[in-house]
Amino acid sequence: MNRSRRFWRNPCLADAWRRPSPNFHFSIFIFQFAIVFYFVLCAGCVANARAADEFPAELVRFQSYEKNPVFRGAGDNAWDAKIRERGWILREGDVWRLWYTGYRGSPDAQMMLGYATSPDGLVWTRHAANPIYRDHWVEDMMIVRQGQTYYMFAEGKDDQAQLLTSRDGLRWEREGRLDVRYVNGKPLTEGPYGTPTAWFENGVWHLFYERSDRGVWLARSTDLKVWTNVADEPVLSPGPGAYDQSMIALNQIIRYDDRYFAYYHGSGTAEKPRLWTTNVAVSTDLLHWEKFAGNPLLPERENKSSGIVVHDGKKFRLYTMHPEVNVHFPKSE
């Protein structure tokens, strides 16, 4: 008879195996708990490492400049007594250039285009001939420079996206409203389509726009004349986070480490005046986006929106534009 048969024929040993002691059960429970805890901990480490890899610290960790704001409305009865919405900053050589929306009185007043320059992006001087464009309503603008031409994508009156062009950034010519169409080629239904944000790559223009801040859509064009939706559903929607669960609008696209980063503002407050937050999302194809788990980049209570990042030659700065221009530098830690 082999040893295994002897074991099972021994009634004392067999009974002990069938009815383990309470300590034995407790040991098994502790072992199983330790295994589960280990895998949860590892998953968390992997998720944190993945988030850190997808959202580098230099793009998401900022602290406010002690001398903010660096630019604001002129006040009194100036044409730009107040500024609002997204402005745009380009650093060209040793000159920082700022375009902004100015107005006098209520938000129903004519929105006009202002311009200022700076040697360091901190101290700004208004252009002597401001406003540099007053023929049409210009608000919430951004600029793409291609070759010798500046392309300005902006809202017109009633949040209608439009295009202006310039050779020097000072004298602008309005090309007209953007002709945006559904996937089937039919024009968009009447209504607002604003905060236009453009990205140019490989001969194709990509246009991100919002409709009443209820989502961000993507349309494409090769001629700047007709824009066709990639899909008739938003590529970026509000939520599920509380900080942007009600409204969102995209301000800027940058490419960094072969990925696209979208800086956008969102609101989670239903009552007015709403609080807005500055946030970021990442994509590999401009179509599918993942929001940063650490959003918002700045506390909601600060109510800073219309954010863009600008590289100063060494690092990125985060500028928020509404209702004044504030700069935020990378955190040192």
pLDDT digits (tens, 9 = 90+) for 140-162: 999 999 999 999 999 999 999 99
Q: Are residues 247 and 163 in the same domain?
A: yes
Work out whether strand 276-283 and strand 259-267 pair parallel, antiparallel, or are unpaired. antiparallel
Domain that holds residue 41: 3-53
Q: Are residues 133 and 16 in the same domain?
A: no
Per-residue pLDDT band at 106 (split at 50, 70, 90) = confident
Q: Are residues 73 and 49 in the same domain?
A: no
Question: Percent helix, strand, coil in the chain (nearest 5)?
Answer: 15, 40, 40
Q: Are residues 280 and 319 in the same domain?
A: yes
Q: Are residues 207 and 234 in the same domain?
A: yes
Which residues lie closer than 8 Å to 327 by C-beta, 6 or more apart? 64, 65, 68, 70, 121, 122, 317, 318, 319
User: What is the number of other CB atoms lying within 10 angstroms of the CB of residue 28?
Assistant: 11
Q: Are residues 27 and 139 in the same domain?
A: no
pLDDT digits (tens, 9 = 90+) for 243-288: 999 999 999 999 999 999 999 999 998 888 899 999 999 999 999 9
Q: Are residues 171 and 270 in the same domain?
A: yes
Q: Are residues 95 and 170 in the same domain?
A: yes
Q: Are residues 123 and 249 in the same domain?
A: yes
Q: Are residues 195 and 317 in the same domain?
A: yes
Count of domains forming the chain: 2
Q: What integer best gives the mean pLDDT of the chain?
A: 89
Residue 51 pLDDT greater than 60, yes or no: no
Q: Are residues 169 and 259 in the same domain?
A: yes
Q: Are residues 124 and 272 in the same domain?
A: yes
